[in-house]
Amino acid sequence: MFLLKKLFVFLLFSPFFLAAQEYVDVLKLGFYNTFDAEFEGTNESTDVTGFEAGITFPIVLNDKFALITGVDFSTHHLLLSPDFNQSTDLYSTLLKLGLATTHSSTWSSTIVLLPKISSDYENLSGDDFYFGGYAVAKLKKKENLIYRFGFYASTEAFGMFGTPILGVYYVSPNNRFEIDASLPIQVDINYSFGKATLGFDYFGIGRSYNISQETSIPVYIEQSPLEFASYIQYGILDNSILLRAKIGYTSNTHEVYEQGDKLDFRLSAFNFGDDRTQLNPDILGSVFVKFEAIYRIHFDKKDSH
């Protein structure tokens, strides 16, 4: 029965991953807490707490095409300014719908649409809806080395955002050392000792949230985190379930602006036509901890010896 299940999983997913990693993370859950993030120029501070959940499920159409489906949900809780009367809950629900195409033994591509609702989920309207997506081409240079080239773009409350994507996936011949990078968005570098893994990761991408809570003027939040973390991971059930504990540093950027006060365009970290007026003090960077649980399906088990 176990072999039949493995055969089913391989037949279901293998066309989609012939030019990608040897696994897919179907479900990912995360809880985090950022401690005593200070407001610049004041004696006040705030904790930032949150929960994240993501589901990704490809549906194979034939030996060349696979649909990509999924949903990501996140919530963040913090005080945005010492002048505000209450803390704010920020929510985001993002749908993933795309197409993965295998062009040849060396080239493949992925195009994914990313519509989302991002706000405090009070008085939902069209102003809470944003649309994004990305396109990535993958070049399989070797069995253990893949290059990525692409572009990500989205509408946000602050205007249009876009960034090129340059990435690489590499796994060592003994399947212990792994690099999975899509710069400037994310990086994961890790070394496996079997069930235990030590790693380092980075995440950074701009987001925004429309806010309806009572303020003197309607506002939105621009969140531009830069998160650096080290982690230890333990795998159970043949490393199909991964339990991960992280500690790191985050920039805690949560800037408040009046709704309609936008920049012209942002390309990666560069702003064009930005004469906005920030309405809250900067929230300074601080230490955070995060706990994650991942359900991973493997196609070629890593050496556990």
Q: State residue 104's pLDDT score.
A: 94
Compute the distance between CA of residue 254 and CA of residue 297 in angstroms, rounded to an integer.
Answer: 35
3-state secondary structure of 5: helix
- Report the predicted TM-score, pTM, of the whole model to 2 decimal places: 0.88
pLDDT for 303: 39
d(CA 229, CA 38): 20
* Domains of the chain, each with CATH number or no CATH: 2-298 (2.40.160.40)
**d(C-alpha 128, C-alpha 246), whole Å:** 31
Q: How far apart are CA 199 and CA 171, in angstroms?
A: 14
How far is Cα 125 from Cα 17, in angstroms, rounded to an integer? Answer: 38
Q: What is the pLDDT along the chain (305 residues), one digit of tens a residue?
A: 444 344 344 444 444 444 445 688 999 999 999 999 999 999 999 999 999 999 998 888 998 999 999 999 999 999 999 988 889 999 999 999 999 999 999 999 999 999 999 999 988 889 999 999 999 999 999 989 999 999 999 999 999 999 999 999 999 999 999 999 999 999 999 999 999 999 999 999 889 999 987 667 889 999 988 999 999 999 999 889 999 999 999 998 999 999 999 999 999 888 899 999 999 999 999 999 999 999 998 765 443 33
